[in-house]
Amino acid sequence: MKNGWNKITIGQLGKIVTGKTPPTVHSEYYIGIYPFITPSDLEYDRRFVETERTISDDGCEYQKQLLLPPKTTCFVCIGATIGKICQTNKYSFTNQQINSIIADGGKYDSDFIYYLLRTQESKVKSLAGGAATPIVSKSSFSNIEITVPEIIQQKSIASILSAYDDLIENNTRRIKILEEMARLIYREWFVEWNIPVETRSRDAINRVSTTKKMQLRKATPEEKKVTGKDVFPEGWEVKRLEEVAGINQQSIDKASVPNIIQYVDISSVSTGTINSYQNYNYKDAPGRARRKVGHGDILWSCVRPNRKAYSLILHPSDDVIVSTGFAVITPSTIPYTYLYESITTETFVSYLVNHARGAAYPAVTQEDFQDAQITIPTVDLLNKYHQLVEPIEELRHSLKTSNTNLRQTRDLLLPKLISGEVEV
């Protein structure tokens, strides 16, 4: 053991709190200012979370002894997602699947605890008991042995790692804003049918952007079914997806496949994002590693479409291979910017959910994607939209690439700093 480092247990880091779900029959306990954190709210590799549910002042009073202050580390200890971890950024509560560590601030740094616990996933999982539902008890969790330095060094280690996460978080916020920008433009143009018109002011120098409504005609039954409206823009069409895009066009050629591949599995994709790539020797790769992707392709998980596991692919390297559990959608006659937004709307998601078959693992097929109907505007309008939105998508891609590089560097440093192998 390095000089100045001590062996203790997780329980000695501070107060361990196991969360609790307030009785749902008391609606007054919900909808308030306190985030209510559950495992589904946590994202792998995201330090802070946004929750679907919140707790009210009445709910806070009901279980005030379980209130977690900011900078509390929360660790999932029950179920298939044991090891998910986050840190609170405001006063919060969790459900019973999560154990939280409120640091003894005099001896242990809250941020250091978060990074320390990120290195303990495999150790915690090894303690899980229960056949149907894995569970790590509060006592087992509390008794896990760890090694920590003095608090000054804890703070130094945490500050280095936090710098990476702060940059990642800032980039993530920018990515989200860019996503919202692209979606708002799509909605304004192609749902509300407010088309921008550029005019000049009286001095003939300054341009003024205004909007005008489309020229509309009576919608056909097919058009009404797709848009839900009685009218439809002149010059627009409704087409089956296979008329404007290919589905699963490219599979790997075993003769030319790279020895090392970057594999994307369904579990690696969340809404709008590929969270991770798994490196494999091709001969050791899963049997589903068969689909090739290209610039502008869109991944859509065929399994459980209600999860909205989809992502846009830009500038992939030749060694990226994705699972056959995805539909790989390649635009052919329309820009990828328009196609991506049009097949990730709530209407399109509902179409997939309604066509999914199977009780345990509801799934859609390639044919379901091919038969999906989407609205196709005029070529001129599509081109204008692409010119406006493509730079937004390129910037999003650049920020995601930056985050990938930041994560890789941080993850190289994390175990070495936490173990004392590398000194600050």
Same domain, 131 and 264: no
pLDDT score of 198: 59
Look at residue 69 and tell me whether its pLDDT is greater than 50.
Answer: yes
Give dist(CA 368, CA 356) in Å, integer. Answer: 9
Domain that holds residue 245: 237-375
11 plus 136 within the same structural domain? yes
E strands present in 277-414:
278-281, 289-292, 298-301, 310-312, 320-323, 326-331, 373-376
**What span, in angstroms and rounded, lies between the C-alpha atoms of 375 and 81?**
39
Per the domain annotation, does 255 fall within a domain? yes
Is residue 205 over pLDDT 80? no
pLDDT exceeds cutoff 90 at 256: no
3 pLDDT above the threshold of 80: no
- Residue 256 domain-assigned? yes
- What values do phi and psi take at 239, rounded to 5? -135, 155
Least trusted range by pLDDT, from 63-72, 116-125, 212-221: 212-221
Own/partner contacts of 105-108, CB < 8 Å, gap of 24 or more, are 105/14, 106/151, 107/151, 108/13, 108/14, 108/148, 108/151, 108/154
Quote the distance between the C-alpha of residue 223 and its chain's center: 33
If asked whether residues 246 and 347 sit together in one domain, one would say yes
Say if residue 302's pLDDT is above 80: yes
pLDDT band at 210 (very low <50, low <70, confident <90, very high): low
Question: Does 197 map to a domain?
Answer: no
Q: Note whether residue 108 is domain-resident.
A: yes
Output the pLDDT for position 80.
Answer: 86
| Whether the model pTM is above 0.85 | no
Task: Taking residues 192-215, report their average pLDDT.
Answer: 64
pLDDT at residue number 312? 97
Q: Flag whether pLDDT at 99 surpasses 60.
A: yes
Closest to 266 measured CA to CA, from 256, 275, 254, 255: 275
Q: How confident is the model at residue 211 (pLDDT cuts 50, 70, 90)?
A: low
Write down the pLDDT at residue 201. Answer: 47
Q: Who wins on pLDDT, 109 or 253?
A: 109
d(CA 250, CA 297): 11
At residue 414, the pLDDT reads: 95
pLDDT at 336: 98
Q: What is the mean pLDDT of residues 298-316?
A: 96
Q: Residue 199 has what pLDDT? A: 45
pLDDT band at residue 209 using 50, 70 and 90 as cut-offs = low
Q: Tell me if 153 is assigned to some domain.
A: no
Q: Which residues pair with 269 in a beta bridge?
A: 274
If asked whether residues 141 and 267 sit together in one domain, one would say no
Would you say residue 43 lies in a domain? yes
For residue 214, is it within any domain? no
Task: Please compute the mean of the pLDDT values over residues 41-49 and round it to a whole number.
Answer: 86
The whole-number pLDDT of residue 10 equals: 97
For the chain, how many structural domains are there in total?
A: 2
Is the pLDDT at 370 greater than 90? The verdict is yes
Query: 25 is written with which tokens?
Result: 């029959």
Alpha carbon 39 to its chain centroid, in Å, reads 14
Angstrom distance (rounded) from CA 161 to CA 154: 11
Least confident piece of the model among 201-205, 247-251, 259-263, 360-364:
201-205
Identify the three-state secondary structure at position 319. coil
Nearest to 85 by CA among 99, 95, 69: 99
Q: Whose structure tokens read 């999003």?
A: 396
Out of 60-69, 353-362, 388-397, which region has the weakest mean confidence (pLDDT)?
353-362
Which amino acid makes up residue 118? R
Pairing of strands 231-233, 216-218: antiparallel
Are residue 144 and residue 247 in the same domain, yes or no? Answer: no
Residue-level pLDDT at 200: 45
Whether residue 273 is predicted with pLDDT greater than 60 in this model: the reply is yes
The per-residue pLDDT for 204 is 47
Residues 138, 19, single domain; the answer is: yes
Q: Would you state the pLDDT for residue 129?
A: 79
Residues 116 and 247 reside in one and the same domain:
no
* Mean local confidence (pLDDT), 106-126: 94
Report whether pLDDT(421) > 50. Answer: yes
**pLDDT average, residue stretch 261-276:** 91
* Residue 207 scores a pLDDT above 90: no
**252 in the same domain as 144:** no
Q: What is the structure's pLDDT at 206? A: 54
Q: Which residue has the higher pLDDT, 68 or 133?
A: 68
Q: Output the domain CATH number for residue 267.
A: 3.90.220.20
pLDDT in tens, 148-178: 999 999 999 999 999 999 999 999 999 999 9
Task: Average the pLDDT over 27-38 and give the result.
Answer: 96
For residue range 324-335, what is the model confidence (pLDDT) as tens digits?
999 999 999 999
Task: Say if residue 131 is in the same domain as residue 245.
Answer: no
- Tell me if 376 sits within 8 A of 244, measured CB to CB: yes
Average pLDDT, the chain: 92
Place of tokens 């407010």: 194
Q: Kindly state whether residue 346 falls inside one of the protein's structural domains.
A: yes
On whether both 22 and 134 belong to a single domain, the answer is: yes
| Helix, coil or strand: residue 167 | helix
